Chains A and B, each alone.
Chain A
């Protein structure tokens, strides 16, 4: 199997396991695991193809403990991998054999709900859905809704800048987080933002959201909560071609309508979902759109009729408007169950996550069908159509020698294709180790060096989550000297550090 190369394991650190565990136990007496059985559940995250038991696991309960653990690791040059619920699909929380795995799941309190200021202050181990659960009695909710929301932690959401089907209208994690408390690798505790809006000066919060555990450990999150819309209704639209479906999406947006959610499935995904949940999806459709509109009743009615007219104008085979909340949920049931549904028709599947400019959809789907033939593997597509975020599910069987490698090669081809048409490698799952080695298809060495410079400002010893996101780790002091393009420096006369 083609496991991405990880930083060389420091055997000397492994030899010190007992001493390291003892030191950590002095800081967190009841929260250190260092026996093989106890480490096992932590050996992988949601990207289960890769497994590495960590050196030790530590589960702190207070900010002071997190700070002392990080300060000790910094002092002793021990690597640290932060972990939330472990649902990352890109290997972001994959442990290191010579690194401490820092689980934040004991930080599970909702600290404050402030309806007047429309914010909730929570610890990072609170689940995404847990925030909505804590505020829904007053008619509020937390908008970003990853499909993993019953399990994933808000700390993990911050680290991955997670999205969900409602992000088209309400934004991603980064647009809904107002502040964090962050512990740096040195053990220093800093606060960014809070109940007020915007940062003063450089927007460090913007850098923290989506930093995949490489810049600091989040110990508190302040999120914006919203009043739930009065009504939500969905319309299910079937098309005989993905081109027509794509044009329908473009027309809806051109009409000035930003739906609460706008999802698309291709024929293999439609059939897998229908086999699984039986909600009456038309099996012969090439593309199925679910468009959800939310807001006051009058607005929803008004827009539904406009969306219906647009869909019919684009030759929809079928157009069904939900008449009850139960029916709306049924429309969604198939889409939300798409992953397990695909899991039933194939022993294994590999979920990809590229984003493309929407209008490139027909081209990308056509090319994907060719790639499917070339690699000899089936693929089903679910797609956040409104914002161009594609989730091809590649079907394979890990027990057939070579199939995982082929699935990975197919996946990499899809992501290269996304970049080629003007898109990006990952829309919401993160780079992690999975897409790390593809970063150069999107960024030049100089682009990457500027990102690594951010890392150097936060963690110049590269102790936090090394081996993730960046294909090569340059020592910070060497970065200034690395930009030799075509054998010569761009400005040879400029002195470099």
Chain B
């Protein structure tokens, strides 16, 4: 048996052996997100980084299939050469964890999406099909290679966000899209967070077709090299369209301040930083939370936490994605944060960076209400009855 499989059959054999020996596995692509979740015990790693290769790419059909261990960087380079991209902007963990974008399987199974999430959808919205090995050591496929497909349950999407706890994805088929001809960023300076989110709401509710909507308060802005609190809106598309939309958006937002324009690499670099949570990555000792709430609730959640303990935030997704840094002492702010999320109408908070000692003691993923948690356990028991796949990863969230 090999724990460095290079084919689906190898993966199946490895899982079968693990089942027979009742010896759990921890799934490892590039390990870019290995620091998220309950620390592993003494599970054997199943290294998936050797399961590589693009198996199908038809640019005119907007579809690509690759084995799960294929690096995202390799796929993005291939797409770029044909003027296409993964429109959900898979994040890189370079700034947060010193790692990278990881593999296609890793990005999809953890549903990693960047700033364009608000317009183009999450990673899960781009998955068309999956081949996987379940915890029963059976190879199954779900979905297909076409966008419109309602044949059976959408198990390919359903596996996104399972963090390797239901099945080992061995091949993934995704929808790819044309890259925008050009992009520009409209920046407003000096707004307090609640006012900034109001500006973002106005922009997102306008016909400007905004594809990124972030706000960096003072400290985060400074780390990103900006002169003051910065409210950022990205416009992408064909040249004449971007120019016209910029003009109109600037007029619409005049009550919030004067619009500045960033373009080219200055704009692109800023959105990569937002995507990767770079503006709050330092100091490296801080715990980092990724919080998803209704967009207008973002500043309230951050303010509630900051009133209870030292915390620093910045916002993406129009205010709905709050990146929050806290001191990793006691519970790292878990109770306070989750209380604030519940009070603001619900959502979820995940600890994406924190010392192992903290991850041992608090639920890293948002705890679910009892009926939902039970449903999750029943699904896990159906797909992985022997608890072979990533048994620690999401533990403690029930």
Contacts and interface: CB of A to CB of B under 8 A. Distances in A.
Interface of A: 114-119, 139-140, 160-161, 163, 167, 171-172, 174-175, 184, 188-192, 194-204, 206-207, 209-211, 215, 227-230, 250, 253-254, 256-258, 295-299, 302-303, 355-359, 384, 387-389, 422-431, 435, 439, 442-444, 446-451, 453-458, 469, 480, 483, 490-491, 493-494, 496-497
B91 to A, nearest CB: 13
A384 B347 CA distance: 36
A210 B155 contact: no
Interface string B285-321: 0000000111111000000000000000000010011
A445 to B, nearest CB: 10
Given A299-B241, A357-B146, A116 B205 contact: yes
Given A201-B368, A202-B161, A202-B162, 17 more contacts: A118-B205, A119-B294, A171-B121, A197-B118, A197-B122, A197-B321, A199-B111, A200-B366, A201-B366, A204-B375, A211-B153, A227-B204, A299-B237, A357-B63, A389-B148, A446-B139, A451-B152
A356 B238 CA distance: 29
Interface in B186-218: 198, 201, 204-207, 209
A190 B375 contact: yes
Size bin of chain B's contact surface: 35 or more
22 contacts: A116-B198, A190-B372, A191-B372, A195-B297, A197-B118, A198-B348, A201-B365, A201-B366, A201-B376, A227-B205, A253-B60, A258-B178, A296-B248, A357-B58, A423-B146, A427-B148, A429-B150, A446-B139, A447-B141, A450-B155, A454-B158, A455-B153
A489 B397 CA distance: 35
Contact of A175 (B125, B155, B163, B198): B125
A357 B145 contact: yes
Contact of B150 (A114, A427, A450, A491): A427
A257 B237 CA distance: 10
A197 B117 contact: yes
B65 to A, nearest CB: 11
B160 A203 contact: yes
A443 B347 contact: no
- Per DSSP, chain B at the interface is mixed
B74 interface: no
B61 interface: yes
Interface of B: 16, 19-20, 58-63, 83, 111, 113, 117-118, 121-122, 124-125, 134, 136-142, 144-155, 157-163, 165-166, 177-179, 181, 198, 201, 204-207, 209, 237-238, 240-241, 243-245, 248, 292-297, 317, 320-321, 345-348, 350, 365-366, 368-369, 371-372, 375-376, 378-379, 381-383, 385, 394, 397
A469 B376 CA distance: 23
Contacts of A116: 198, 201, 205, 295-296
Query: What 4 A-B pairs have minimum CB-CB distances, sorted nearest first?
Result: A299-B241, A256-B178, A206-B157, A195-B294
A364 to B, nearest CB: 13
A356 B144 CA distance: 10
Nearest to B298: A196
Contacts of B145: 357, 422
Contacts of B19: 491, 494
B153 A454 contact: yes
B152 A439 contact: yes
A92 to B, nearest CB: 10
B363 to A, nearest CB: 10
Residue among B62, B153, B297 facing the most chain A CB atoms (10 A cut-off)? B153
A194 B245 contact: no
A387 B148 CA distance: 7
Contact of A298 (B150, B166, B240): B240
Contacts of A203: 111, 124, 157-162
Nearest to A470: B152
A160 B378 CA distance: 24
Nearest to A429: B150
B346 to A, nearest CB: 5
Nearest to A188: B371
Given A188-B371, A355-B146, A210 B154 contact: yes
Nearest to A209: B154
B60 A254 contact: yes
A174 B148 CA distance: 11
Contacts of B350: 200
B238 A303 contact: yes
B238 to A, nearest CB: 6
Contacts of B248: 296
Contacts of A229: 207
Nearest to A195: B294
Contacts of B394: 201
A388 B148 contact: yes
A115 B295 CA distance: 11
A117 B163 CA distance: 28
B161 A424 contact: no
Contacts of B383: 450, 453
A190 B20 contact: no
A256 B111 CA distance: 25
A298 B149 CA distance: 34
A431 B152 contact: yes
Contacts of A444: 140-141
Nearest to B63: A357
A197 B144 contact: no
A425 to B, nearest CB: 5
A431 B294 CA distance: 34
B346 A194 contact: yes
A115 B294 CA distance: 12
A63 B70 CA distance: 46
A424 B151 contact: yes
Contact of B148 (A172, A422, A497): A172
A198 B205 contact: no
Nearest to B125: A175
Nearest to A386: B147
Contact of A206 (B60, B124, B292): B124
Contacts of A356: 146
Contact of B166 (A163, A202, A303, A388): A202
Contacts of B153: 207, 210-211, 215, 451, 454-455
A304 B16 CA distance: 56
Contacts of A428: 148, 150
B155 A207 contact: yes
B349 to A, nearest CB: 8
Contacts of B243: 298
A256 B181 contact: yes
A94 B136 CA distance: 34
Nearest to A225: B205
Given A423-B146, A424-B149, A451-B155, A196 B293 contact: yes
B241 A454 contact: no
A115 B205 contact: yes
B379 A454 contact: yes
